[in-house]
């Protein structure tokens, strides 16, 4: 068996943030029928909330709640109409999205919608009178909206002060990234919850960590942002524009605390030295976006520095890509 080639930290960050570094919001103006993206537009809002591939727009069973503008000379767009007459715009949008996604699922036109997780994702930067716009998590990539995850790294210190990190191995039965190493606690953020609420329930479900401990000691430490192009292995359509944000948390625990698998997502937790985590990263053993979260941990904890990493500055900027969609409501 041949050894996989040794990678660099920057390689790992680029594998996660792998959508070309172009101005995506200008792409819809491209005059190429095959590639010109459609902007996803919401009522009374000129800002694109997602970017859809022409092949997806063509196959989606649109209803009368949507206006599709195909004109390739201007910005192409999919606009959700407000059928509420101003009564409850968010609910009207959400119902329109649910209907079209259900129809697409029923007609089996997109494989990943079938028997998918019933959770919704929120459309970042979009709400109406405080009510979020949301759609089925498995359809987020089809609409090109920003996905949101929360990742918490749980670590401890040896008596000598060395950091050791709790690293789970994903179950080999999972459809996505089976057997890969993961962030200690991580999950997609449901439409109705905040990043920290996501951490609280995932810490319990995935790692059996008591809510009181997490609530008291977990620390918000920033975010990693990137834009991925969906590829084989993601379980869905290829070539989608997938903006993503991972809200990051650190939790330092004493030697008496050990995460334990509770649901069927984690096979086992390892307590790894920094050297062991480095080797596993560079051997490509981590799930792609968990590698970026761990590299950000390394930067924040003085493990990767300008003195020991020639790509330090490019890593730091690349982990925080400007997102092509709005991040706060109008």
Nearest-approach distance from CB 145 to a second copy, in angstroms: 14
Among 39, 134, 183, 225, binds a second copy (CB under 8 A): 225
Asked if 222 interacts with a second copy (CB under 8 A), we say: yes
DSSP per-residue string spanning 302-330 = TSS-TTT-TTHHHHHHHTBPPPSS-SS--
Q: Determine the size of the site formed for a second copy (CB under 8 A).
A: 36
CA Rg, the chain, in Å?
21
Beta pairing class for 147-157 and 241-252: parallel
Per-residue binder mask for a second copy (CB under 8 A), 156-195, x = binder: --------------------------------------xx
Beta pairing class for 66-69 and 51-52: unpaired
Nearest-approach distance from CB 279 to a second copy, in angstroms: 21
Among 21, 157, 215, 260, binds a second copy (CB under 8 A): 21
| Sign of the torsion formed by the C-alpha atoms of 7, 185, 190 and 42 | negative
Q: How many CB atoms are located within 10 Å of the residue 118 CB?
A: 8
Asked if residue 182 lies in contact with residue 288, where contact means CB atoms within 8 angstroms, the answer is no
Nearest-approach distance from CB 88 to a second copy, in angstroms: 23
Asked if residue 253 lies in contact with residue 156, where contact means CB atoms within 8 angstroms, the answer is yes
Asked if 307 interacts with a second copy (CB under 8 A), we say: yes
Closer residue to a second copy, CB minimum distance, 11 or 237: 11
Give the C-alpha separation, 78 to 326, whole Å: 17
DSSP per-residue string spanning 264-297 = SSEEEEEEEEHHHHHHHHHTT-B-HHHHHHHHHH
Among 103, 221, 271, 274, binds a second copy (CB under 8 A): 221
Give the C-alpha separation, 64 to 193, whole Å: 30
Nearest-approach distance from CB 297 to a second copy, in angstroms: 11
Closer residue to a second copy, CB minimum distance, 219 or 260: 219
Tokens of 121: 């994702």
Asked if 219 interacts with a second copy (CB under 8 A), we say: yes
Asked if residue 207 lies in contact with residue 271, where contact means CB atoms within 8 angstroms, the answer is no
Give the C-alpha separation, 116 to 261, whole Å: 23
Question: What phi, psi does 202 have (nearest 5°)?
Answer: -70, -35
Asked if 208 interacts with a second copy (CB under 8 A), we say: no
Closer residue to a second copy, CB minimum distance, 57 or 246: 246
Asked if 13 interacts with a second copy (CB under 8 A), we say: no
Distances (CA, A) of 118 to 98, 113, 255: 11, 10, 37
Per-residue binder mask for a second copy (CB under 8 A), 67-106, x = binder: ----------------------------------------
Nearest-approach distance from CB 273 to a second copy, in angstroms: 18
Nearest-approach distance from CB 79 to a second copy, in angstroms: 25
Strand ranges in 101-201 using DSSP code E only, listed in sequence order: 120-128, 131-136, 147-157, 163-170, 185-188
Nearest-approach distance from CB 185 to a second copy, in angstroms: 16
Closer residue to a second copy, CB minimum distance, 25 or 84: 25
Nearest-approach distance from CB 299 to a second copy, in angstroms: 5
Closer residue to a second copy, CB minimum distance, 40 or 245: 245
Binding footprint of a second copy on the chain (CB under 8 A): 21, 23, 124, 194-196, 219-223, 225, 245, 247, 299-302, 305-307, 310-314, 316-323, 327-328
């Amino acid at each position: 068996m041949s050894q996989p080639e040794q990678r660099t930290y920057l390689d790992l960050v680029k594998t996660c943030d792998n959508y070309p570094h172009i101005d995506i919001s200008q792409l819809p103006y491209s005059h190429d029928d095959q590639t010109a993206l459609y902007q996803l537009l919401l009522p009374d809002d000129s800002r694109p909330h997602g970017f859809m591939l022409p092949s997806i727009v063509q196959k989606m069973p649109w209803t009368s709640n949507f206006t599709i503008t195909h004109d390739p000379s201007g910005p192409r767009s999919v606009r959700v109409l407000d059928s509420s007459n101003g009564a409850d715009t968010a609910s009207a949008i959400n119902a329109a999205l649910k209907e079209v996604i259900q129809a697409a699922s029923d007609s089996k036109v997109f494989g990943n919608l079938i028997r998918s997780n019933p959770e919704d994702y929120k459309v970042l930067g979009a709400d109406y009178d405080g009510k979020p716009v949301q759609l089925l998590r498995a359809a987020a990539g089809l609409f090109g909206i920003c996905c949101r995850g929360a990742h918490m790294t749980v670590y401890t210190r040896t008596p000598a002060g060395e950091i050791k990190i709790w690293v789970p191995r994903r179950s080999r039965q999972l459809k996505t990234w089976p057997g890969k190493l993961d962030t200690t606690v991580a999950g997609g953020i449901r439409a109705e919850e905040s990043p920290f609420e996501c951490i609280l329930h995932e810490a319990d479900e995935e790692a059996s960590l008591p809510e009181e401990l997490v609530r008291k000691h977990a620390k918000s430490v920033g975010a990693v942002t990137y834009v991925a192009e969906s590829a084989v292995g993601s379980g869905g359509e290829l070539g989608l524009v997938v903006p993503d944000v991972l809200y990051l948390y650190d939790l330092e625990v004493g030697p008496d605390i050990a995460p334990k698998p509770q649901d069927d997502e984690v096979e086992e937790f390892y307590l790894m030295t920094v050297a062991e985590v480095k080797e596993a990263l560079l051997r490509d053993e981590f799930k792609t976006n968990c590698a970026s979260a761990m590299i950000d941990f390394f930067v924040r904890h003085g493990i990767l520095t300008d003195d020991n990493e020639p790509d330090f500055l490019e890593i730091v900027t690349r982990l925080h890509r400007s997102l092509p969609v709005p991040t706060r409501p109008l």
